[in-house]
Each structure stands twice: as C-alpha cells, then as structure tokens.
A and B are shown apart, each in its own frame.
Chain A
Amino acid sequence: MISIQEKVADCLVRAGSSFREDQKEVYRKAIANEEIESSCWVLKQVLDNALVAEKRRSPLCDDTGIPHLFLEIGKSRSVSGELLEQIKEGVVLGLRQLPGRPMAIKGDDYARIDQSGGLDEDSGALVPSPILIKPVDEDVLRLTILMLGGGPAIRGITQRVFHKHSVDVVVDEIVNRAIPAVSQLGCSPCTLAVGIGRSQFEATSLMMEAMAKGDFGVQSDFEKRITRKVNESNIGPLGLGGKHSVLATFAKIGPQRASGVRIVALRPCCCFEPRRASVEL
C-alpha cells in the first residue's frame, strides 16, 4: 500500500515535471497558428522541454517554485493533524526527489529578509505555503500541489478596481495591468490567473483556486475577452512578438461586496505554469 507521504511526493514531482494533456494541446494549437517564425520556435522548445521533463521526471524549469497546497474535502471526509503532518512530510520527500532548487533561506526574521543567513543546501528544507482548504460536493479528499515560480510572483498584482457598475471597466483594468506584467515577465506565453473577491485574502484565494482548477480547453466568455485583449499587445513568446502573449486566462469570480470596489488578484503565470498535479488521498 502506498503511503500518504509517497502519494504526495509523487504528486509534487508530477507538478514540477509535466504538462497536463490540455496544456500540451494548447501549445500544439499555438504552434500551428503562430505566424512569426522565431516565436513558433520558442513554443516548440517549451513543448519539447515538457515532453523531455515528463520522460525524465526532471524539473521543467530551474526555478522549481514554492509548493502551494490546495485541499478539496467532501462532506463525509475529515482532515486530522496527523494527515496534515503526513502531507508536509510528503512535500519534503517530493522536493528531494524532483529535485527542487535548494532555495530555503536560513536564519531569524531579519536574516530571512536580507538573506544574510545563507541558503539551506537541502531541497526539502523549502517550507510550503499555508494549505488552502475548500469544501466540495464530491465524496473526495483531493490534494492539488502547485509549484509557483519567482518571476510571476514579482509581476503579480493584487489591488482594487473601482468598477463603476461595468464589467468592461474591470476587464479593461485587468488587461491594463496584465500587459506590462506579461511584457516584463519575459517567460511568455503566459496564462493569466485572476481572482475577484471582497478582500485581498479572498481575491488571492480565488486566484489560487483558478490556478488549481483551470482548464485550457474550457474558457468562459470573461476569460476569452481578457486573453483576446492581452494578445492584441503582440508581446509574443519570450517577447519576440506574435499572437501568443497569453495562452489562456483562468479566472474565478467569488461573492462580491455591496460597494463600488472589487479586489482583483492577478498573476501572469509563466510558460510552464500553472505547474500543478492532483492526488486523491
């Protein structure tokens, strides 16, 4: 019988080393449709890289990312402190197997901020983010691991939008924020992750859920509008121009506040993201 730790470790390695089928397909379509030769070459390189990474179970990118955990729980299931500890141990095991880039910062509060304490050489020393727990109607206990890289974190923005009672205003503001973010990221084509909620925490949680559940083959009208408008910027893969600055948008719109403001979390996921995999525990 496979232990929880082994299941989690395998899930983390898959998240960091493979594309899902919908992700491969969106690249195949982009390669077929991209007219700029150099940009098409970039798209092929990214897809080839994914195929090699999957075969070797090796990292897609040398920035292997920080593990973020999304746990879905059905009504009849329960989570114990012991299970959370086993998940944590599985993450350590998975980071060592991948292997993750050893980038845990050592030391006290000040040393972790200015990095004066140096780096831990153990890939497994990288502490995952707090677990996001979501009740679901399915009879399931499902863990999704997302490996979030540093570049998109630098360019991500969580900020209010005064909506003026217009969806167009919100879409336009997301697009206005996304274009420079995609351009500065460098590692395009991007997937835009968007969460819209009542507070910074809620919006970011919704953005995480969008990354955990989004499907390149299933796009809402809202998501298509954002993708289409950002692609008009002609940034292209690696900034080389072309039709594919953004492959898709994964948006999750939550409950909203009775006010003139919406809080929007936006992350320009890099060409390998969302790097994610799921496992039932």
Chain B
Amino acid sequence: MIELTTPFSEEAISQLNVGDVVSISGYIYTGRDAVLPKIIKAGEEGKLAEKGIDLQGAVIFHTAVSPAGVGPTSSNKVEIESSFEPLSKLGVKMHLGKGAISKETVKKLSENNAVFAVIPPVTALLESQTVEREIVAYPELGMEAMNRLKVVKYQAIIGAAKGRSIYD
C-alpha cells in the first residue's frame, strides 16, 4: 500500500505503476459529466483562483455528492474522459473513477505525468473515510456541483500510468 497525501508532487506520481494500491488522504475535488466541462472552461480562462479552486497536484473524483454519499461513476463517459487531458494540463495529477479508458487517454495522461486510479463503489466505506465536504463551485448543479472533500485513506488501484493500462 502506497500512502499519498494531496497535493501530489510530480515525483510521487512518477513513481506510480499500474496495479499499485494507493491510500489517498487530504483534500480532493469531485466532478462528473455536468461540471467538468465548466471547470475546464474556467481554467482556460484563468478563473479558477477566483472560485477558490487550486488544481496543482489535485485529485478529481468522478462522483456526485448527495445525502446518500459518494461513489464513482463510469469515467469513460464522453464528458468525463475528455476532461482527462485538459485537466491534467491544468495541474490535476490523479483522475479517480472506474471503467476502462481509451489507449489515447492513457497516452495523454502519461504525457502529462498524471494517472487514472480505479476506486470500487464502496459508498459506506468512503463515507466513513470522508471527514469534511463543501461545495466550491456551481452549486446550481445540485449533487453534480464541484465539491471539496477531506478524505482519510481512500483506497484505490492505479488503472493507468506511464502509458500502460490495467485493462490491457
């Protein structure tokens, strides 16, 4: 088990390999279909700081946040998978979700020293490991708004790194 605390350094990410089980602690962001395109647009317009968002070394967890808790949605949905490259360019180091992603996306992650990690849909466990949550952007999207979570020891497995995929 590799212990990681956010924000992640370039060096910490460069040492990860497909199949490594990692334990993630610290602040992470959430986002899925509805909000990720808006985050990318805000990032490209240089407006993330005014929203209180810092993506350097960040984790984006592909989940809704509702009273029922959190849990990964499929990361290969068009709006989500297409966010991997632009968000990595904006500083995101780990995209956290589930499902096989394309070879092209695996390559783009590698070019930006970023990884995809697969997290099981274990809502009750994750709820017991989430100590803070707050909406940071686009509250009008309800449970699909961007949230910042403080998490303790979320377990995930590295699904894509250094141009390789666990689904190959």
- Chain B residues whose CB sits within 8 angstroms of the CB of A100 once the complex forms: 68
With A41-B157, A99-B67 already in contact, the answer to whether A62 and B123 are too (CB < 8 A) is yes
| Chain A nearest CB, measured from B10 CB (Å) | 25
Q: Is the beta-carbon distance between B67 and A61 smaller than 8 angstroms?
A: no
Nearest A residue to B167 via CB reads A239
A52 at the interface (CB under 8 A from B): yes
B71 at the interface (CB under 8 A from A): yes
| Chain A nearest CB, measured from B128 CB (Å) | 6
Nearest B residue to A17 via CB reads B124
B149 at the interface (CB under 8 A from A): no
Assembled-state Cα–Cα distance A102/B68 (Å): 8
| Chain A nearest CB, measured from B50 CB (Å) | 27
Assembled-state Cα–Cα distance A102/B98 (Å): 23
Question: In the complex, which range does the number of interface residues on chain A fall in?
Answer: 35 or more
| Chain A nearest CB, measured from B131 CB (Å) | 15
B91 at the interface (CB under 8 A from A): no
Nearest B residue to A55 via CB reads B124
B55 at the interface (CB under 8 A from A): no
Assembled-state Cα–Cα distance A44/B142 (Å): 32
Assembled-state Cα–Cα distance A45/B121 (Å): 9
B42 at the interface (CB under 8 A from A): no
Give the contacts of A114-158 with B (CB-CB under 8 A).
118-119, 121, 123
B15 at the interface (CB under 8 A from A): no
Give the contacts of A182-199 with B (CB-CB under 8 A).
186-187
- Chain A residues whose CB sits within 8 angstroms of the CB of B127 once the complex forms: 56, 58-59
A161 at the interface (CB under 8 A from B): no
Nearest A residue to B1 via CB reads A41
Nearest A residue to B155 via CB reads A45
Assembled-state Cα–Cα distance A61/B123 (Å): 5
With A45-B155, A240-B157, A240-B166 already in contact, the answer to whether A62 and B68 are too (CB < 8 A) is yes
- Chain B residues whose CB sits within 8 angstroms of the CB of A227 once the complex forms: none
Assembled-state Cα–Cα distance A25/B85 (Å): 42
Question: In the complex, which range does the number of interface residues on chain B fall in?
Answer: 20 to 34
- Chain A residues whose CB sits within 8 angstroms of the CB of B147 once the complex forms: none
With A38-B19, A41-B157, A186-B98 already in contact, the answer to whether A101 and B121 are too (CB < 8 A) is no
A232 at the interface (CB under 8 A from B): no
Assembled-state Cα–Cα distance A46/B125 (Å): 9
- Chain A residues whose CB sits within 8 angstroms of the CB of B67 once the complex forms: 99, 101-102, 123
Q: Is the beta-carbon distance between B123 and A102 smaller than 8 angstroms?
A: no
Q: Is the beta-carbon distance between A62 and B157 smaller than 8 angstroms?
A: no
| Chain B nearest CB, measured from A230 CB (Å) | 18
Our pick among A38, A58, A187 for the contact of B121 (Cβ within 8 Å) is: A187
| Chain B nearest CB, measured from A50 CB (Å) | 8
Assembled-state Cα–Cα distance A37/B21 (Å): 10
Q: Is the beta-carbon distance between B142 and A59 smaller than 8 angstroms?
A: no
Assembled-state Cα–Cα distance A48/B125 (Å): 7
Assembled-state Cα–Cα distance A53/B99 (Å): 24
Assembled-state Cα–Cα distance A98/B124 (Å): 12
Q: Which of B98, B99, B120 has its CB near the most chain A CB atoms (within 10 A)?
A: B120
Give the contacts of A210-265 with B (CB-CB under 8 A).
238-240
| Chain B nearest CB, measured from A118 CB (Å) | 8
- Chain B residues whose CB sits within 8 angstroms of the CB of A240 once the complex forms: 118, 157, 166-167
B86 at the interface (CB under 8 A from A): no
The chain A residues found within 8 Å of chain B, CB to CB, are 17, 37-38, 41-42, 45-46, 48-50, 52-53, 56, 58-64, 98-102, 118-119, 121, 123, 186-187, 238-240, 270-272
Other A-B contacts than A45-B122, A53-B123, A187-B98, 7 sampled, CB-CB below 8 A, are A50-B124, A59-B68, A59-B123, A62-B123, A101-B64, A186-B99, A240-B118
Q: Which 9 A/B pairs are nearest by Cβ-Cβ distance?
A: A53-B124, A49-B122, A62-B71, A101-B68, A52-B124, A45-B120, A99-B67, A49-B125, A62-B123
29 interchain pairs, CB-CB under 8 A: A41-B157, A46-B122, A49-B120, A49-B122, A52-B124, A52-B125, A52-B128, A56-B124, A58-B69, A58-B123, A58-B124, A59-B123, A59-B124, A60-B123, A62-B63, A62-B64, A62-B68, A62-B70, A62-B71, A63-B71, A64-B68, A100-B68, A101-B143, A102-B143, A119-B142, A123-B67, A238-B118, A240-B118, A271-B121
